[in-house]
Amino acid sequence: MDFSLQPDTPEISAFRKEVREWLAENMRGSEPLRWSARWSTRENDEEYQFRRQLANKLGQKRWLFPTYPPQYGGAGLTLDHQFVLETEIDRYGLPLGSIFYTLARLVAPAVLKFGTEEQKLEFLPPMLRGELAVWQVLTEPQGGSDVANCLTKAIRDGDDYVVNGQKIMVGHHLPPDYVWTLVCTNPAGKRHENLGWLYIPANLPGITVQHLHLMMGIKNAVFFDNVRVPAKYLVGGENNGWKVANSYLELEHGGGGSVSENPLFKRLIAHCQKADFDGKSLMEDQDVRDVLADMLIDLDVQRLMGLRNFWHRYVRDPHPYGGPQFLYFQRMVRLRNSERVQQILGFDALAPDGSVHEEADFEYTVRSGPGWLHGGGTLDTDRLIIARRLGLGRPSQETAPTTV
Amino acid sequence: MDLKLSDEQSMIKKVAADFLKAEAPSYVITEWFQEKRAFIPELYKKTAELGWLGMMLPDEYGGGSASCTDCAAVFEELGHGPLPGPYFSSGVLAAEIILAGSSPAQKKTLLPEICNGRSVVIPALSDDPIQWGPRSVQTRLTKTVTGFVLNGIKRFVYDGDAATSFICAARTETGGVVLALVDRNAPGVSVKPVLGFMIGAAEVRFDDVAITADNFVGDWGVVERALIKALPILCAYKVGACQEIFEMTNEYTCTRVVFGQPIGRFQRVQDHCVDISIHLDGARWITYETLWKIDSGIEAAANVHQAKAVASEAYYQSCNFSHMVFAGPGTDYKHPLMAHSVAAHTLYQYLGTPLYHKRAMVDALYPRQSSAA
């Protein structure tokens, strides 16, 4: 076994050097910025512009989706290269997948796997160049995590689909260029056999976006009122949407794995070493040390589950239940850490600190305990998927779909 | 990055799995647990022939020069049993203590005998059952005209009844801790099995046991150095045990029908299996990363404590969640879960509880400034 994160061959070492130098050059000016989390209550325009431009520059280098085929705007590089990019940019506290607020990282694999050649050539290059903000628009008010319970209708009329319906809890504070939407293409059809995916230009007439101010930041309701979407935007074929959804959701459900560092623990240790109570640093208090021990164990298990999933993706051998297991465990760890931070800091844990990246902020940590119990499903849907993958009470086990 | 075992390690693992299937199938082990038979000498000899005792020792002492990960591959399979016996306590821990603390002459006489299974050397370290570690060593070593004598009672010595000799930790008159080799048949040594919700424990008394200077094998620092390589092997055993519990529990949810359907269709029941998976995989990957660090020469003191805490807790909790699924039948001593439940409680205590090791982990990472005060 080898857990080292930098198995660099000479070729990869050279690439790492190139990426590091490029980032040193292109991250200049970001020093005063404090990254907000992907969904955030404190996004600001200066930061947004920086991240968006960075995505553009990375996209032009073809480093945003490095392993994608060149004809679609990728660099045709290996997962080793992607790994270098992910770890190098992580040194700046940013994950490669959410450089700016787009879910293209989830949408592009689906288009690559299920799109026609024409669709790939048209849709992928601008997405891979980092020019587009793409929203994932799945949840409906009545459906919630029952994604297949989809009432937004897309009825074929000549060369178009006419779309009517409502989605909720999607997107972020700035408008999208495209929305990636699950629609019902056959209202009379059977469950799971009546769905389709539309990649919809967001500027089409009839689309309205309304902000929702939520615990973890701004999300939106999206209304479709007789929106005429040209049929070329249907990806994966009519009534074939559930198959697309299955493969696509595995990435959202943790199957992609993770190699990034969690900045929270280090900051908490630094705080405890500095903070004085009763003439002693908090770090000398046995109760505090016990809370930190539990937290460290949780975070290490989470890190290793993420690493395991990354490796399974890397060798193209999906872990049978690792994706939803990681997601479920991460939610529970966030919830426990939410209380741990409060136990150690007292009221200070409820006051945001704008001088650090949001992911390392204690108030954000407290909020994201209950706030991240859902998103990409709920903790209960995570467990439901694990149970099916294990085949509990069933004659056979569901297999994990391969991710791209 | 490569998170799978090497081909050779997978082969070792398969040999161990086949051995267990042939020599100690689950129903046999369950019987041993019922009868509190914690040591099966014939089986112990066979494992010596397979090279599993003292596996990590250098060739010159009769060992196999195996890496920690190689050795862990075997012990993970033994954990599936869970196979009782001094495979770990003598074959790993005592072997590593003697390797770390003995004179070259002692090593040459003692270690080959551990490897061939004729000597079963059992560490008898803590006296105080509430605590573990050097502070809990109370057995006294007193100077006499001709040498030294040992006096004290070690109340829970794991695998104590299998011993041919002990490594006894004792406090000197100046307050330090030394390790002394004591023959089981030496005058003044008595061994009495302790029965209860545990396996393999024995009370070992030392009444005016005479010791000479060439019986010493080092101080507490030697134990700590040996534990770095030994504890992750014990963790691998627990990982194998959790895997076994996970599989048998999942299977039961498919075959057991209540209220007209397999119980695996009930989400409450599914949750228990999900919780086992979390404990199992947490223990597995924390243990594996620790093994890799040790084999790669990376500092791993904190990881070792972490692994012991996580794996002990995982084994214990996996049993509890499994009991929730098996309900009544799982509490029958004839049920394989009971062997695991008894082993999990014993190993929760053995060599320090999760709380002890969590604290040791934090102390290793962030030493206390006020330790002098």
**A198 and A83 co-located in one domain:** no
Residue A45, pLDDT score: 86
Q: Is residue A376 part of a domain?
A: yes
**A171 and A223 co-located in one domain:** yes
CB contact under 8 A, A304 and B289: yes
Is the confidence at residue A377, as pLDDT, over 90? no
Taking the CA of residue B271 and the nearest CA in chain A, the distance in Å comes to 7
CA count, 13 A, side-chain hemisphere, B83? 30
Chains A–B, number of C-beta pairs less than 8 Å apart: 135
Tell me the mean pLDDT in the region B143-162: 96
**Contacts of residue B4 in chain A, CB cutoff 8 Å?**
1
Residue A378, pLDDT score: 92
From A239, A269, A292, the end of a domain falls on A239
Tell me the mean pLDDT in the region B26-43: 96
The domain in which residue A206 lies consists of 134-239
Residue B143, pLDDT score: 96
From A100, A123, A149, the end of a domain falls on A100
Q: Is residue A248 part of a domain?
A: no
**A220 and A282 co-located in one domain:** no
Q: Quick count: other Cβ atoms within 10 Å of Cβ B129?
A: 13
Element (H, E) at B179: strand B177-183
A254 falls in which pLDDT band (50, 70, 90)? low
Average pLDDT, chain A: 91
**Contacts of residue B1 in chain A, CB cutoff 8 Å?**
2-5, 7, 307, 311, 314
A246 falls in which pLDDT band (50, 70, 90)? confident
CATH number of B121-219: 2.40.110.10
**A357 and A329 co-located in one domain:** yes
**A190 and A83 co-located in one domain:** no
Q: Is residue A198 part of a domain?
A: yes
Is the confidence at residue B372, as pLDDT, over 50? no
Nearest residue, CB atoms, A393 vs list B1, B264, B370: B264
**A322 and A364 co-located in one domain:** yes
Q: Is residue A180 part of a domain?
A: yes
Tell me the mean pLDDT in the region B106-131: 94
Query: Interface pTM (ipTM) of the complex?
Result: 0.96
Quick check: B269 contacting A, CB < 8 Å? Answer: yes
**A206 and A263 co-located in one domain:** no
CB contact under 8 A, A308 and B368: no
Is the confidence at residue A4, as pLDDT, over 70? yes
CB contact under 8 A, B306 and A314: no
Residue A403, pLDDT score: 61
Tell me the mean pLDDT in the region A223-248: 91
**Contacts of residue A393 in chain B, CB cutoff 8 Å?**
253-254, 261-266, 269-270
**Contacts of residue B286 in chain A, CB cutoff 8 Å?**
297, 300-301, 304
Burial A12-26 (b: 16+ CB within 10 A, else e): beebbeebeebbeee
Is the confidence at residue B371, as pLDDT, over 60? no
**Contacts of residue A308 in chain B, CB cutoff 8 Å?**
3, 281, 285
Q: Is residue A251 part of a domain?
A: no
Tell me the mean pLDDT in the region B259-286: 97
Residue B42, pLDDT score: 97
Give the nearest chain B residue to A8 (CA atoms): B1
Q: Per residue in B179-228, pLDDT tens?
A: 999 999 999 999 999 999 999 999 999 999 999 999 999 999 999 999 99
Residue A364, pLDDT score: 95
Q: Mapped to the 3 state alphabet, what secondary structure does chain A carry?
A: CECCCCCCCHHHHHHHHHHHHHHHHHCCCCCCCCCCCCCCCCCCHHHHHHHHHHHHHHHHCCCCCCCCCHHHCCCCCCHHHHHHHHHHHHCCCCCHHHCCCCCHHHHHHHHHHHCCHHHHHHHHHHHHCCCCCEEEECCCCCCCCCCCCCCCEEEEECCEEEEEEEEEEECCCCCCCEEEEEEECCCCCCCCCCEEEEEEECCCCCEEEEEEEECCEEEEEEEEEEEEEEHHHEECCCCCHHHHHHHHHHHHHHHCCCCCCCCHHHHHHHHHHHCEECCEEHHHCHHHHHHHHHHHHHHHHHHHHHHHHHHHHHCCCCCCCHHHHHHHHHHHHHHHHHHHHHHHHHHHHHCCCCCCCHHHCHHHHHHHHHHCCECCCEHHHHHHHHHHHHCCCCCCCCCCCCCC
Tell me the mean pLDDT in the region A228-247: 91
CATH number of B7-115: 1.10.540.10
Residue B373, pLDDT score: 39
Q: Residue ranges per domain, chain B?
A: 7-115, 121-219, 221-372
Average pLDDT, chain B: 96
Among A241-255, B129-143, B144-158, name the one with the lowest average pLDDT.
A241-255
Of all residues in chain B, the percent with pLDDT exceeding 90 is 97
CATH code for the domain of A281: 1.20.140.10
Quick check: B361 contacting A, CB < 8 Å? Answer: yes
**A138 and A220 co-located in one domain:** yes
CATH code for the domain of A68: 1.10.540
From A190, A208, A239, the end of a domain falls on A239
A400 falls in which pLDDT band (50, 70, 90)? confident
Q: Are A318 and A401 in contact (CB under 8 A)?
A: yes
Is the confidence at residue A101, as pLDDT, over 80? no
**Contacts of residue A275 in chain B, CB cutoff 8 Å?**
none
Fold of B221-372: Butyryl-CoA Dehydrogenase, subunit A; domain 3 (1.20.140)
Q: Is residue A141 part of a domain?
A: yes
Is the confidence at residue B13, as pLDDT, over 80? yes
Residue A302, pLDDT score: 96
Quick check: B265 contacting A, CB < 8 Å? Answer: yes
Q: Is residue A246 part of a domain?
A: no
Residue A245, pLDDT score: 83
**A264 and A377 co-located in one domain:** yes
Domains in chain A, number: 3
CB contact under 8 A, A296 and B362: yes
Residue B47, pLDDT score: 97
CB contact under 8 A, B2 and A1: yes
**A262 and A229 co-located in one domain:** no
Taking the CA of residue B162 and the nearest CA in chain A, the distance in Å comes to 34
Taking the CA of residue B245 and the nearest CA in chain A, the distance in Å comes to 14
Nearest residue, CB atoms, A383 vs list B262, B271, B289: B271
Residue B261, pLDDT score: 96
